[in-house]
Amino acid sequence: MNKRPIGIFDSGIGGLTVVKAIKRLLPREDIIYLGDTARLPYGTKSTDAIIQFSRENTNFLLSRNVKFIVIACYSSTSVALDTIQQASPVPVIGVIEPGVRRALKLTRTGRIGVIGTALTIYSGAYERAFRKFSDSCEILGRACPLFVPLVEEGWLDHPATELIARTYLESLKEDGIDTLLLGCTHYPLLLAQIKKVMGDINYVDASNEVASELAKQFAERGLENLDGNGNVAIYLTDLSMNFKEIGERFLGEPMNTFSRISLREFRLGS
């Protein structure tokens, strides 16, 4: 069982930041990554659609005999984690709770900001996750939907991005939060712009926390692969324009091997 790969899925290639963190902490593990680039973005779509896509992505990963599933997409974790956990024969974790636990360790004032896609913020998933651990913290959410296309366009350091960041975040600054959770795969790439607006507060990028959570669960369940090769197989449902350049931005290294796959055989309903 422990020689089987870890399955990771995201709406696109932003989830490669989670792959990068897992590779760093668990370098021997083989990884199968599915980026549903044909149906990206998830963060502007309905809950029902994202639950269905997430189930199809899970079925693809299970067909590849994975031992564990990581939902690297915040939008998908927000609305589909429970469904996938109930349906999956292998353990599943998402990206929300590990970041929430980290934010609670860092905050002094208990005023915590969360930014994410519209689906993530309006689903209330962060609010629910914080309430599992704390009754007293105050959670202030802001949807920042334009951040995803800005990152995909490579406008990490562009005046337009700074203006948009100010427009989204200034009220959150006025709210006096001391910790900000980056609740979307793409937002860590905008950290410099976000810091210009929000200043010297705590920032949480959950990818490292997810990797630590995985390492902990592997140790508890005896699932570590101690003599694998650390292969990463990347499957994408569409090889969209610039995907390689964007993917390398997230992965932090050349992306040489990838395949296009169809999820047709895993489709649910019509």
HSE of 159 in the Cβ direction (CA atoms, 13 Å)? 0
DSSP-based three-state secondary structure for 208: helix
Q: Candidates 9-17, 193-201, 239-247, 255-263 — which segment interacts with ligand DGL by CB under 6 A?
A: 9-17
Which of the residues 103 through 132 are near ligand DGL (CB under 6 A)? 117, 120
Q: Candidates 51-59, 99-107, 179-187, 252-260 — which segment interacts with ligand DGL by CB under 6 A?
A: 179-187
H helix count then E strand count, the chain? 11, 10
> Are the CB atoms for 44 and 118 separated by under 8 Å?
yes
Q: Tokens 């809950």 identify what position?
A: 47
What residues contact 119, with CB distance under 8 A and at least 6 apart?
42, 43, 44, 45, 47, 50, 75, 78, 79
What positions carry a catalytic annotation? 73, 184
According to the binding rule CB under 6 A, does residue 43 interact with ligand DGL? yes
**5, 11, 150, 189: which one binds ligand DGL (CB under 6 A):** 11
> Are the CB atoms for 4 and 56 separated by under 8 Å?
no
Smallest CA-to-CA distance from 38 within 210, 244, 262, 268 is with 262
Which of the residues 58 through 77 are near ligand DGL (CB under 6 A)? 73-75
**100, 182, 184, 236: which one binds ligand DGL (CB under 6 A):** 184
According to the binding rule CB under 6 A, does residue 99 interact with ligand DGL? no
According to the binding rule CB under 6 A, does residue 41 interact with ligand DGL? yes
Smallest CA-to-CA distance from 204 within 151, 139, 248, 154 is with 139
According to the binding rule CB under 6 A, does residue 250 interact with ligand DGL? no
* Least distance (Å) between residue 75 CB and ligand DGL: 4
Q: Give me the residue whose beta carbon is nearest to ligand DGL.
A: 43
* Least distance (Å) between residue 200 CB and ligand DGL: 26
DSSP state of 189: G
**21, 40, 125, 143: which one binds ligand DGL (CB under 6 A):** 40
Judged by beta carbon, residue 68 or residue 126, the one nearer ligand DGL is 126
According to the binding rule CB under 6 A, does residue 144 interact with ligand DGL? no
**Number of residues in the chain:** 270
Tokens of 22: 């897992």
Positions that interact with ligand DGL (CB under 6 A): 10-12, 14, 40-43, 73-75, 117, 120, 148, 184-186
